[in-house]
Chains A and B, each alone.
Chain A
Amino acid sequence: MKVRYRALHPFDKEAEERHIQEDHGLHPYDEYLKPGRIPHIWCPGCGLGIVVTAFIEAMKQKNVPVAQSAVVSGIGCTGRVAGYLDMDTYHTTHGRAIPFATGLALVRQDLIVTVFSGDGDLFAIGGNHLIHAARRNVNLKVICVNNFNYGMTGGQVAPTTPIDARTSTTPFGNAEPSFNLPHLAHAAGAVYVARWTTYHARQLVHSISQAFDKKGFTFVEVVAPCPTGFGRPNKLGSGLDEMRHYREVCEVRNGADPSEVEIRLREKIIVGTFVDVERPDFMEHYQSLVVARAQAKAKSKGKGKAA
């Protein structure tokens, strides 16, 4: 058939680069941010920017080279993190950040692969992938930003929404109990599990930098305010009000039993580093159990043939 296209506007690199805001480079963190991508899309009062800042600060403190870093994220508000960081970043499909990152981390052990995603992405649609990656102990740094709801789609109930909380799909209150993320990650086999809120920015930087030092599957949960999606229906006020709330109710309890750190609406939030253990990661086992034997077998077979 004949095709009549609408006129195409070719890509004009120069014009696009003129679009890059003049203020790029004004902030010291800008060297870690893709030129022309700030301002980001997140709402005023959203805690996601703080988590990105903490990640950058941890990279700076640990001298993690940008060239050796890759960030993989899924879908949703947190999924957009990848698009702002100036490194090799992958914005994948909903829930599939972890398997994508698994493929990347296994073939490139020289890279530090961080998975940045939200609670819905990692624990609802991607829940299966998370527990299996933790079980395998794939060398991934997972940062889960927990805002208790699906923010990007307008505040729907998530597996982390506390019981009785209101969201746009639980207008009379949530009838389901929520996941206790650190407990789940720990039970699945993560070697490092921590939880902080965006109010605990310094501790968060410390936790992320500790995770950089670990080999294996690390999990850092960051409780973040979502004034638009979660704060409004639950009358939690602005992002600032939620941050004040964290200041008042959070209790730092390092080494706490992860089974006892469940979050309930308007109640105490227990934060801290809960788990820090050593366990061989996937590639270590694969090399010692599989590759060594396979190559020994291949050699002995080769000898047999020659003889």
Chain B
Amino acid sequence: MAEKDLLTGEHFIHGDAACAEGGIAAGCRFFAGYPITPATEVAERMAARLPQVGGIFIQMEDEIASMAAILGASWGGVKSMTSTSGPGFSLMMENVGLGMMTETPCVVVDIQRAGPSTGLPTLVGQADVMQARWGSHGDYGCIALAPSSPQECFDYTVLAFNYSEIYRQPVFVLADEVVGHTTEKVVIPRREDLRIVARAEPQAPAHDYLPFDSAGPLPAPMAIAGAGYRVHVTGLTHDERGYPVITDVVQERNVRHLVDKIRKNADKIIRAEQIHLDDAEVVVVAYGCTARVARQAVEDLRRRGHRAGLLRLITLWPFPSQIVRRLATTVKAFIVPEINYGQMAYEVERTAGGGVEIVLMPLMGGSIHTPEEIEEAVGEYL
């Protein structure tokens, strides 16, 4: 049974299945989900695989319940995840907030489709970027990873689990329909080559232990149910012991901790691929399936001798603002192709600071950009 949890070797699978395999490789043993196109295949893979590795798969009555159930399982000491797409992601938002407030590690895979509402269920979109960041009410730090290929679906699901354990909060994998349904070679590494962060256990004796300590740069290790720490976990504003305290003083400390644990560690979290950026005059900023098209365009332009570059975002949140700010001093323009009406483009514009042209290339969803479109847009500034 042990060898079944890590299918080391080469596989020809789609991005959804790779997300599921990534979760299992990272130690996920509980999955609660609800069918939704185009994320259903994640659940299907989990339904087949989890019972083989001693895990539990359950199809809940809706996405609200799915999100609540994975939080419960996480407090039971088991790594847990769910998968969904736009409409289900919206339903999960209330309990995403609970996960943030109660500092509960778990992973939510969102295979984005085109919205709003039911939109284009079977076709691609990238419009959940801001929902991931600001979807639940109140302030909290957010980590969202955007894979561009099935291989990255595997890698970043593992990474998402690691981040969720380190920073003790729900982490999002924001794939899109094209990435989720692309079937490619996925290499699952050997166990010794895979970095997995295990759940930290509190060492302090019960009377000294503060389950929601906000003094340090990282959250306290989590005392799971039955560990003898008798922790009260609440979505109310709580002090370091977990006791609800309805005052502005504790709210200040509580929420600042939730935001700062990501803000102050952003350098350690942020990942971005920088392609031909050293001498670039025009930089394309892209993520997800769009980054693959953009890469084609940039390589084509380079072959023709143009100084184009690509900043491929891996962590959408936290946003790599330092890189963009540095580039803004040297480049002529940022081209931002995305399958929404401008979500990351605003973030690029905000961090670039007005001295440089920002070109948004929006698609409302249902299709992806062509390399020619992007080459044309870049060409205007070369």
Contact = CB atoms under 8 A, between A and B. Distances in A.
Interface of A: 5-6, 8-11, 13, 16, 34, 36-37, 66-68, 70, 72, 82-83, 86-93, 96, 98-108, 110-111, 128-129, 132, 282, 286, 290-291, 293-295, 297-298
Contact of A103 (B48, B70, B236): B70
Nearest to A9: B249
Contacts, number: 172
Given A68-B226, A93-B95, A11 B58 contact: no
Please list the 5 inter-chain residue pairs (A to B) with the smallest Cβ-Cβ separation, ordered nearest first.
A103-B72, A103-B69, A294-B51, A99-B65, A103-B73
Given A96-B98, A103-B80, 18 more contacts: A8-B252, A11-B253, A34-B243, A90-B75, A90-B102, A93-B94, A99-B64, A101-B72, A102-B65, A102-B69, A103-B75, A106-B30, A107-B30, A128-B61, A132-B65, A290-B57, A294-B52, A295-B1
B191 interface: no
29 contacts: A8-B256, A9-B249, A10-B215, A11-B239, A67-B228, A70-B225, A70-B226, A83-B243, A89-B231, A89-B232, A90-B72, A90-B102, A91-B234, A93-B95, A99-B32, A100-B69, A100-B72, A103-B72, A103-B80, A105-B72, A106-B30, A107-B56, A128-B61, A128-B62, A282-B58, A290-B51, A293-B51, A294-B51, A298-B52
Interface of B: 1, 4, 29-30, 32, 48, 51-52, 54, 56-58, 60-62, 64-66, 68-78, 80, 94-95, 97-98, 102, 210, 213-215, 225-236, 239-241, 243-244, 249, 252-253, 256
A111 B210 contact: no
A96 B73 contact: no
Contacts of A293: 51
Nearest to B29: A107
Contacts of B249: 9
Contacts of A129: 61, 65, 68
B65 A107 contact: no
Contact of B78 (A98, A101, A107, A297): A107
A291 B226 CA distance: 25
A99 B72 contact: yes
Contacts of B72: 72, 90, 99-105, 107
B68 A295 contact: no
A10 B215 CA distance: 8
Contacts of A290: 51, 57
A298 B52 CA distance: 7
Given A11-B253, A83-B232, A100-B71, A108 B214 contact: no
B208 to A, nearest CB: 8
A13 B210 contact: yes
B236 A91 contact: yes
Contact of A11 (B52, B73, B80, B210): B210
Nearest to A87: B230
A99 B239 CA distance: 25
B65 A36 contact: no
B224 to A, nearest CB: 8
B98 to A, nearest CB: 5
A91 B95 contact: no
A68 B76 CA distance: 12
B63 to A, nearest CB: 10
A298 B229 CA distance: 38
B230 A86 contact: yes
A67 B229 CA distance: 8
Nearest to B73: A103
A102 B68 CA distance: 9
Main SS of chain A's interface residues?
A: helix
A67 B228 CA distance: 6
B95 A104 contact: no
Contacts of B65: 96, 98-99, 102, 128-129, 132
A111 B66 CA distance: 20
Contact of B56 (A13, A106, A295): A106
Contacts of B98: 92-93, 96
Contacts of B29: 107
A281 B358 CA distance: 58
Contact of A37 (B30, B227, B228, B243): B243
B256 A96 contact: no
Contacts of A87: 230
Contacts of A68: 226
B1 to A, nearest CB: 7
Contact of A16 (B60, B225, B229, B241): B241
Interface core residue of B97, B230, B243 (most chain A CB under 10 Å)? B230
Contact of A91 (B58, B232, B241): B232
Contacts of B80: 103, 107
Contacts of A37: 243
Given A67-B228, A96-B64, A295 B52 contact: yes
A93 B61 contact: no
A91 B233 contact: yes
B167 to A, nearest CB: 20
A128 B61 CA distance: 7
Contacts of A89: 230-233
A60 B249 CA distance: 38
A132 B69 CA distance: 13
Given A132-B61, A286-B56, A93 B232 contact: no
A101 B73 CA distance: 8
A164 B102 CA distance: 40
A141 to B, nearest CB: 15
A66 B225 CA distance: 11
A96 B253 contact: no
Contact of A106 (B4, B58, B75, B234): B58
A98 B62 CA distance: 13
Contacts of A8: 252-253, 256
